Chain A
Amino acid sequence: MNTQALSAPRPAGLGGRIALATALVVAIPFAVNDFWVFIAIECVVFALYAATFNLLFGYGGMLPFGHAVLFGVGAYAVAILVKKSAFSALVALAIAPLAGALTAAIVAFFCVRLAGIYLGMLTFAFQMLAYTVVLKWYSLTGGDDGLSGITIAGWLGTPHGLYALSVVLTAAGIAFLWLVVRSPFGVALQAAKSNPQKSRAVGIDVARHQLLAFVISGFLAGLAGGLFALANQSVFPGWLNWTASAVPIVMTVLGGMASFWGPLVGAVIYVLLQTVLTGYTEYWALALGFLIIAIVMVMPQGVMGWFDRGRRG
């Protein structure tokens, strides 16, 4: 994998790109109807979610098979607090990242010392445990039906309000991740990925770095889940199922796993593709399956890698 691209983005043009992206993001809700505002929220939230996966995978070298548990715990934290307690939706949303971080800390405590495949399997087992509990604890979680009617009062509960909330929190989350991967901690995490033995030899506590990466990832994945619960006004157990855990992996590989921005781009492409294709065919999964195989075989560096290669000539 191209670790160069991970640690050294081109500084030139970054300011311009951010300005362009900001202008685009602000303009969207004024240009489209409520349906597309909802899709835009989905793009934003899943961009954050994909970025939390990439912190573990692209920067930490860990491949969890159960990342959806962190997203799902955040979503259910918001839903349960709003439905079953006196907390307001905003307080619930503030608790969602903590629920995600706590879950991640528990998962990571057990799995960071495990070699690749076993780490994946352990996260898979945690996810199935959480999924089964959510499915069977009907009185708390609504079981199969999920929970609905999760709304924020006032302007924040309107499509534009939810969009603004999602954009601001996601931007803060992504900016935080950007700082994390450039911090000494982030550099050590990447060193631990490319050569764990050597990292230990120079005094990096590999397991502790991976654990902290998990906690940060869980914190923001929980936030993404909480936002998505509010945007949907409902949560469903399928969000924690094993098939849901493939989604951030697909987004990451689609956008390009060797870059910070790749998974974000991948998330947006994924959500738009899903929205457009499900309008034409009920067999969107079939198309996605063939797309995944095509990407893996034809452009393994993803959309961003393909762009970069084009630019270099």
Chain B
Amino acid sequence: MDLTLTFDWLGNPVVVLRQFVAGLSNGALLFLVAAGLSLIFGVSRIVNFAHGAVFMLGGYFAYSVVGSARSSPLMFAAALALATAATFVFGVLFERIVLRRIYRSDPAFQLLVTFALVLILGDAVRIIWGRDENSALAPLGLEHIVRIAGFGLSAYRLFLIAVGAIVCVALWWALYRTRAGVLIRAATVDREMLKALGVRTDRLFTLVFGVGCALAGLAGGLAVPVVSVGPGLHSQVLIDAFTVVVIGGMGSFVGALVGALLLGQANAFGTLIAPAAAIVLPFLVMLVVLVLRPWGLFGRPE
């Protein structure tokens, strides 16, 4: 492995800013995925190994609307809406048909069922969309380079950051300012108590799994112009989301946000400093966090 460190890019503000924006926009996407994963774990204690596969599904849904040609803003919005809505429905159905029956089963069963979903979705996208790696373009209106203080930045990257910020605020509002949010946060602390108080926790579980999947689906749709949509898309996303959620704290909303932004930047600048070490570093940080503070930086010890 090549472990030499490179810092000559530091003198070049164009590169620094470009990497920062790339890291921030990837962090925004990662936040959407990790927030859903964390929310689902917090409420139902299910570790959703299929979360990356749902992201991939969102990507394919969006791709099937926009295709490889440059799309109009309206078409692109429709693609994002489809990716979000379809993965929400998928999540709700999966929770109602399968997950609901195994909340009290051995954790190995819960793990296996979400893993089975990875296998099923992996082959399903091959059957429906083929084995090709597909790439799409940013929609009209977001395809250009924006000039800010003399620096050229990708409009689509800025758009990703904006969407990430809007969804983040909306999620915060939903979790901290609505009744459903209060119940969800209560469920992460004590599900049994919540049920004993007469709350229909089964509906809450369905809602949370659906919303978690929809967030991953939206992220998958948003990612279509910046990744290649293929059957292998799910794996790296899942690994990154696990890393974020473990470092930030499983079940913690703030942890998902901070973890995603950190990992986004670490990947962006790590590849400049030491490419080989950069992909190992997140796992090392994950190990250190688990050993010293297993509930994560922002989580709550059980």
Name A residues whose Cβ lies closer than 8 Å to a Cβ of B.
1, 57, 63, 65, 110-111, 114-118, 120-122, 124-126, 128-129, 132-133, 136-137, 241-243, 246, 249-250, 252-253, 257, 283, 285-286, 288-290, 292-293, 296-297, 300
Closest to B294 in A: A118
Cα–Cα, bound, A293→B123 (Å): 15
Closest to A65 in B: B111
Closest to A58 in B: B108
A125 in contact with B116 (CB, 8 Å):
no
B101 in contact with A110 (CB, 8 Å):
no
Chain A residues with Cβ below 8 Å from B246 are 121, 125
**With A133-B1, A289-B117, A289-B123 in contact, do A253 and B290 touch (Cβ < 8 Å)?**
no
Q: For B1, give its contact among A110, A136, A257 (CB under 8 Å).
A: A136
Within 8 A of A (CB), among B234-274: 235, 238-239, 242-243, 246, 250
For the complex formed, measure the closest distance between the CB of A302 and the CB atoms of chain B, giving whole angstroms: 11
Chain B residues with Cβ below 8 Å from A1 are 106
* A-B contacts, 22 listed (Cβ < 8 Å): A65-B47, A65-B111, A110-B290, A111-B290, A115-B294, A117-B250, A118-B290, A121-B250, A122-B294, A125-B287, A129-B287, A132-B279, A136-B279, A242-B235, A246-B112, A249-B108, A283-B127, A285-B122, A286-B127, A288-B119, A292-B116, A293-B116
Chain B residues with Cβ below 8 Å from A57 are 108
Interface string of B273-286 (1 = CB under 8 A from A): 00010011001101
A296 in contact with B127 (CB, 8 Å):
no
B115 in contact with A246 (CB, 8 Å):
yes
Cα–Cα, bound, A241→B234 (Å): 13
Chain B residues with Cβ below 8 Å from A132 are 279-280, 283
B294 in contact with A114 (CB, 8 Å):
yes
Chain A residues with Cβ below 8 Å from B197 are none
Chain B residues with Cβ below 8 Å from A296 are 102, 105, 109, 112-113, 116
For the complex formed, measure the closest distance between the CB of A280 and the CB atoms of chain B, giving whole angstroms: 14
Sample of 7 more A-B contacts, CB < 8 Å, known A122-B287, A129-B283, A289-B118: A118-B294, A125-B286, A136-B276, A246-B49, A246-B111, A285-B120, A289-B117
**With A243-B118, A293-B113 in contact, do A110 and B287 touch (Cβ < 8 Å)?**
yes
Cα–Cα, bound, A286→B123 (Å): 6
Chain A residues with Cβ below 8 Å from B226 are none
For the complex formed, measure the closest distance between the CB of A15 and the CB atoms of chain B, giving whole angstroms: 32
Closest to B119 in A: A289
A253 in contact with B294 (CB, 8 Å):
no
Name B residues whose Cβ lies closer than 8 Å to a Cβ of A.
1, 45, 47, 49, 98, 101-102, 105-109, 111-113, 115-120, 122-124, 126-127, 235, 238-239, 242-243, 246, 250, 276, 279-280, 283-284, 286-287, 290-291, 294-295, 302
Cα–Cα, bound, A110→B49 (Å): 23
Q: For A293, give its contact among B45, B98, B302 (CB under 8 Å).
A: B98
A286 in contact with B120 (CB, 8 Å):
yes
B112 in contact with A129 (CB, 8 Å):
no
B112 in contact with A253 (CB, 8 Å):
yes
Cα–Cα, bound, A294→B1 (Å): 44
Chain B residues with Cβ below 8 Å from A129 are 280, 283-284, 287
B113 in contact with A292 (CB, 8 Å):
yes
Cα–Cα, bound, A229→B261 (Å): 40
A117 in contact with B47 (CB, 8 Å):
yes
A63 in contact with B120 (CB, 8 Å):
no
Chain A residues with Cβ below 8 Å from B243 are 125
Cα–Cα, bound, A161→B277 (Å): 42
For the complex formed, measure the closest distance between the CB of A176 and the CB atoms of chain B, giving whole angstroms: 24
Cα–Cα, bound, A296→B113 (Å): 7
Cα–Cα, bound, A120→B102 (Å): 19
Closest to B2 in A: A136
B112 in contact with A292 (CB, 8 Å):
yes
B98 in contact with A257 (CB, 8 Å):
no
A115 in contact with B302 (CB, 8 Å):
yes
B239 in contact with A300 (CB, 8 Å):
no
Closest to A124 in B: B242
For the complex formed, measure the closest distance between the CB of A191 and the CB atoms of chain B, giving whole angstroms: 19
For the complex formed, measure the closest distance between the CB of B299 and the CB atoms of chain A, giving whole angstroms: 10
Cα–Cα, bound, A63→B109 (Å): 11
Chain B residues with Cβ below 8 Å from A297 are 98, 101-102
Closest to A123 in B: B290
For the complex formed, measure the closest distance between the CB of A30 and the CB atoms of chain B, giving whole angstroms: 36
Q: For A122, give its contact among B98, B120, B290 (CB under 8 Å).
A: B290
B106 in contact with A257 (CB, 8 Å):
yes
Closest to B239 in A: A128
Chain B residues with Cβ below 8 Å from A243 are 115, 118, 235
Cα–Cα, bound, A157→B237 (Å): 41
Cα–Cα, bound, A111→B295 (Å): 13
Closest to A110 in B: B291
Cα–Cα, bound, A120→B114 (Å): 15
B109 in contact with A285 (CB, 8 Å):
no
Interface core residue of A65, A286, A288 (most chain B CB under 10 Å): A286
Cα–Cα, bound, A136→B109 (Å): 33
Closest to A116 in B: B107
Chain B residues with Cβ below 8 Å from A126 are 283, 287
For the complex formed, measure the closest distance between the CB of B229 and the CB atoms of chain A, giving whole angstroms: 19
Cα–Cα, bound, A128→B242 (Å): 11
Closest to B109 in A: A296
For the complex formed, measure the closest distance between the CB of B145 and the CB atoms of chain A, giving whole angstroms: 33
